[in-house]
Each structure stands twice: as C-alpha cells, then as structure tokens.
Structure 1
Amino acid sequence: MKTLANLFDQFDHLDTSINKWLVANSILLLRICMGLVFLIFGFLKFFPGISPIEDLATRTTTVLTMRIFSGPRAMDFVAGLECIIGLCFLSGRFLRVGVWLMAIQLIGAMSPLLLFPGELFPGPLHAPTLAAQYILKDIILIAAGMVIASTWTGARIVAKPRSFRSTLRSRVAGVVRNQRTTLASN
C-alpha cells in the first residue's frame, strides 16, 4: 500500500509540474497553432482545386461581398485574409487586428450554415455533410480566438497549484476577477 501511495505522490508531483508548464505556455502555443492553421489553410486557398470547400467558400464570399469578390477573386480574398490572420497570430504583432479579422472571417466561414442549409444538411435525417462538419468545427476556433483576445489587456492564467487528489471532486474553477482593477476601470 505504501508503494501505491508513493507512486500516487510521484504522479501528483508530475501532474503539478505539467500544470505549471501549461499555465506558462498554453496561450502562446494556442496562438502559434492558430497562426499556423490560418496561414497554411489560407496559403492552400491560393491554389485552385486544393481546398475541399473552395466552391462553397467562393459562393459564400460572392454573396457576402455583394459580388465585389466573385470566382477566383473571392478565393484570393479569403486566402489573403486567412494569411494575414495567420501572420498576426504567429508574430504576435497586430494581434488585436488579427483577432478582429478572424471574427469577420469566421462569420463568413459560418454563414453557409444559414445561406445554404439544404445543401449542408440534406436528406431525411438532416445529417451534416462533410462540408458542414468542416464548417461546424470552426466553433473551436471561435473559442480559441476568445482566449487569445482575452490577453489584449494583460489577462493571464495564474497558477495556483493544488494536488491532483484535492481536485478530484472539485468543479472547474471559475474566473477570478481582481476587484481593484474592476473598480478602477469603471
């Protein structure tokens, strides 16, 4: 039994160390990963026939821009927008601009759900097509963008290490607000 308790204590130490590392690095890694995703997917859109959602993205962009961008120009617009977002996220420069551009891009990316629902959810059970699934996964990018956006004014994750055992029955911690900062900004 003592060996089991010792193993658990070693795991608890490892778990706490990993948590400290995650607190220190996770937002930076999230920003870099999002930057890579936007840059790579944007870059691929410059090459006709590579993106599996090219036709839908072109039609959507044409509708949303009221035909200002159509055909290949629509894809070039989306590709350029995604590359700019990716570069903002990767470099950390103009991050606020990048997040706002990402919000605009994601509104556009999600809008086929409203513009073309019959095409994305066909059949008697209205199961999503592969294109609809491709679009729906963007909700994760929205949440990740919100985390990145929260750092604009200096928000940071703060480590308050607790043992693994002490967290087993507790719920996920909420957001802790600094009352002095809140009162001073009002």
Structure 2
Amino acid sequence: MKTLANLFEHFDHLDTSINKWLVANSILLLRICMGLVFLGFGFLKFFPGISPIEDLATRTTTSLTMGIFSGHRAMDFVAGLECIIGVCFLSGRFLRVGVWLMAFQMVGAMSPLLLFPGELFPGPTYAPTLAAQYILKDIILIAAGMVIASTWTGARIVAEPRSLRSTLRSKVAGVVRHRRSTLASS
C-alpha cells in the first residue's frame, strides 16, 4: 500500500510540474499553433485545386463581396487574409490587428452555414457533409482567438498549485478578477 501511495505522490509531483509548465507556455504555444494553421491553410488557397474547400470558399467570398472578388481572385483574397493573420500570430507583432482580421475572416468562414445550408446538411438526416464539418471546427479557432485576444489587456494564466487529490472533486476554476482598490479621498 505504501508503494501505491509513493507512486501517487510521484505522479502528483509530475502533474504539478507539467501544470506549471503549461501555465508558463500554453498561450504562446496556442498563438504559434494558430499562426501555423492560418499560414498553412492560407498558403494552400493560393494554388488552384489544392484546398478541399476551394469551391465553397470562392462562392462564399463572391457572395459576401457582392462580386468584387470572384473566381481565383476570391481565393487569393482569402489566402492573403489568412496568411496575414498567420504571420501576425506567429510573430506576435500586430497581434491585435491579426485577431480583428481573424474575427472578420471567421464571419466569412462561418457564413456558408447560412448561405448554403441545404448543401452542407443534405438529405433526410441533415447530417453535416465534410465541408460542413470543416466549417464547424472553426468554433475552436474562434475560442482560441478569444483566449489570445484576452492577453491584450494583460490577462495571464496564474498558477495556483494544488495537489491532484484536492482537485478530483472540485469544479474547474473560473476567472478571477482582481480589482485594484483605490483609496477614497476624504
């Protein structure tokens, strides 16, 4: 029994160490991964026939821009936008601009759900096509962008190390808002 308790203590120490590392590095890693995703998918769109969403993205961009961008110019527009977002995220420069561009791009990326619902959810079961699934996964990118955007005003993850055993039955902690108290003038 003592060996089992000892193993648990070692695991608890490892778990706490990993958590400290995640607190220190996870937002940076999230930003870099987001940058790679946007840069990679954006780059693919510059080459006709490679992106699996090319036709839908072209039709959507043409609709949303009222024909200003159509055909391959529509894909070049989306590709350029996604590459700019990727570079902003990877470099950490102009990050605020990159997140706003991402918000703009996500409106466009999600709009086929409203513009082409019959095509994305066909048949009697309305099961999502692969294109619909490709679009729906963007909610994860939106959430990740919100986390990155929260750092503009100095938000940070703060480690409050607790043992694994003490967290097993507790709920996930919420956001703690610290307010600076100001001294009232008399």
Counterpart residue identity of residue 159, structure 2: A
Counterparts of 2:128 and 2:169, CA distance in 1 = 37
CA distance in 2, matches of 1:169, 1:176: 20
Matched ranges for 1:2-81 at <5 A? 2-81=2-81
Residue aligning to 1:98: 98
Q: Give distance in 1, aligned partners of 2:107 and 2:164.
A: 40
Distance, in Å, in 2 between the alignment partners of 1:55 and 1:180 is 52
Q: Distance in 2 between matches of 1:56 and 1:177?
A: 42
Once the two structures are aligned, what percentage of the paired residues are identical? 89
Deviation at 1:130, TM superposition (A): 0.4
User: Which consecutive aligned stretches of 4+ in structure 1 deviate over 6 angstroms post-superposition?
Assistant: none
Q: How much does 1:99 deviate?
A: 0.1
Cα offsets for 1:35-66 (capped at 9, x unmatched): 00000100010000000000000000000011
CA distance in 2, matches of 1:79, 1:52: 13
Letter in 1 for 2:163: S
| Unpaired runs of at least 5, structure 2 | none
What letter corresponds to residue 153 of structure 1 in structure 2? T
SS in 2 for 1:157: coil
Matched, 1:109 2:91: no
Structure-1-length-normalised TM-score: 0.97
Q: What TM-score results when the alignment is normalised by the length of structure 2?
A: 0.97
Deviation string, structure 1 residues 93-125 (Cα, Å, up to 9, x no partner)? 000000000000011000000000000000001
Structure 1 vs Structure 2 CA RMSD: 1.1
Deviation of the 1:179 alpha carbon? 1.8
Tell me the distance in 1 between the aligned counterparts of 2:8 and 2:73. Answer: 59
Partner of 2:149: 149
Superposed, which structure 2 residues align to 1:134-173 within 5 Å?
134-173=134-173
- Alpha-carbon distance, 1:68 to partner: 0.7
- Report the count of equivalent residues: 183
Superposition deviation, residue 180 in structure 1: 1.5
